[in-house]
Amino acid sequence: MRPTRHGLLVAIGAAGLIALGRFLGLTELFAIGSSVALLVVACGVWVSTRSIDVVVARSVRPSRVHVGNPCTVEVNVRNRGRTSPVLRLRDPVTGTAGADLLLAPIGRRKTSNVAYRLPTSTRGLVTVGPMTIEVSDPFGLASARSRAARPVEITVLPRIDEIPPLPRTVGPDPDGGAETGSLGRVGEDFAALRPYVVGDDLRRVHWPSSARTDDDLLVRQDDTPWQGRICVLLDLRREAHDLDTIERAVSAAASILRTHLRRGDHVRLVSTTGVDTGYGLGASHLDGMLEFLAVADRSNRGTMHGALDAAERGASGALVVITGRPSGPDLDAVEAIGPAVSLRRVVRLDIHDRSASGRRTQVLGVPPGTSFAEAWTTATPTNGRTARSRRASVRRRTAAR
């Protein structure tokens, strides 16, 4: 039990009245001060004798949420004892004044449910709790507080825009470069006819062509689906960003990674702070990258040249560099990356025009106030024939060898 702020002020006032009444010899002031002091003591005794037996369960849905999406904290309070007094639940929340909930008296073996919304306007980690439950007297002069629920962390992930993926790319090695065949998958585009081997599906036998041969059956060989490879390099240098561009850069990186994973591409995230996720597929790989992006911030560590060197090791296919204010040497370094990277794009968030820094590098300017999704979509062709024609050209070059 402890006095509330209001109760402490009342107690100080009562002591002042008692002292003033004794000093001036005014019985009335002394009596009033004594009565108020007795009230404070009585409220403390009342709170001390209030025994509550409640179980508090708190759940956060969802525990991972993207910026701007709703997130709700649900609190279930079950009373296992006699009818409870009015209960006050306090739940601290990072970056806010926290939640302050009042519950009406709960009957014996009854439950009460309350909920509140969490702010999700800023990405990062939001700590909720520890929750405390507080009982106070009817005058609000004394209170007793106990812990009701332990703290939990909610991850607010960066905003993700719906954007088209880059055209599929090819490297110098059609089987191990920018795109790799996906084993066990069968495509829909006809590639060639080949002789039947034991184990082939008889449903794929091309009977009209087989009838024109003497002995062998011919099997339809379809084009194998390809899986592209894309590396996203996120510039986190402090000198390259302000508070606005860093948020837009992180959101752009998350959008590019997700749209390419949805297409089935191998994706990789590299940052100037030394993070390198390696190429990967699947939801767990994306979750790991989004967890990092949720807490990514400007840093004095690392250089663009160091990050490009790391990205170039094992890189092929497409490379997207996302930065705020790149220098001329930075753009030249992107242009100098080896031929294994057949498509390279620099997304810079400080210019109004779209230009090229070299014959192989495209610079996409997304100035403040401009939608990244709109700029990216405008600059990205979506014709699927481009990828098929590139794959065909690679097969032709391979056959010529």
For the chain, give every domain's residue range.
2-49, 54-157, 186-223, 226-393
- pLDDT tens digits for 30-68? 899 889 889 888 888 888 787 788 899 999 999 899 999
**pLDDT score recorded for residue 165:** 93
What is the dihedral angle through the alpha carbons of 145, 149, 150, 156, rounded to the nearest 10 degrees? -120
The answer to whether the beta carbons of residues 255 and 322 sit under 8 Å apart is no
CATH homologous superfamily of 226-393 equals von Willebrand factor, type A domain (3.40.50.410)
Q: Which CATH code, of 2.60.40.10, 3.40.640.10, 3.40.190.10, 2.40.50.140, is assigned to 54-157?
A: 2.60.40.10
Poorest-confidence range of 33-47, 237-251, 357-371? Answer: 357-371
Q: Is the per-residue pLDDT at 316 higher than 90?
A: no
**pLDDT score recorded for residue 276:** 93
**pLDDT score recorded for residue 51:** 76
Residue 240 sits at φ, ψ, to 5 deg, of -95, -10
DSSP codes of every residue in 18-65: HHHHHHHT-HHHHHHHHHHHHHHHHHHHHHHH----EEEEEEEE-SEE
**pLDDT score recorded for residue 227:** 63
Strongest mean pLDDT among 42-51, 105-114, 206-215: 105-114
Residue 314 sits at φ, ψ, to 5 deg, of 80, 5
**pLDDT score recorded for residue 89:** 92
pTM of the model: 0.72
Report d(CA 5, CA 307) in Å as an integer: 55
Q: Is the per-residue pLDDT at 398 higher than 80?
A: no
SS3 125: strand
Residue 277 sits at φ, ψ, to 5 deg, of -80, -15
* Chain Cα centroid distance, residue 311: 23
Confidence category of residue 170, pLDDT binned at 50, 70, 90: low
Q: Is the per-residue pLDDT at 183 higher than 50?
A: no
- pLDDT tens digits for 73-85? 999 999 988 888 8
In the predicted model, what is the mean pLDDT of residues 210-228?
70
In the predicted model, what is the mean pLDDT of residues 293-306?
92
In the predicted model, what is the mean pLDDT of residues 265-274?
94
**pLDDT score recorded for residue 194:** 76
- DSSP letter at 206 equals -
Q: Crossing angle, helix 283-295 and helix 243-263, to 10 degrees?
A: 180
Contacts of residue 112, defined as CB under 8 A and 6 or more positions apart, other chains included, come to 76, 77, 79, 103, 104, 106
Give the residue among 174, 183, 307 at the shortest CA–CA distance from 236: 307
Instruction: Compute the Cα dihedral for 373, 376, 378, 381 and give only its sign.
Output: negative
Q: Is residue 219 classed exposed, middle or buried when 0-12, 13-18 and 19+ CB atoms within 10 A define those classes?
A: buried
Q: Is the per-residue pLDDT at 179 higher than 70?
A: no
Region of residue 227 (left: phi > 0; alpha: psi -120 to 50; beta: else): beta
In the predicted model, what is the mean pLDDT of residues 331-351?
86
**pLDDT score recorded for residue 126:** 92
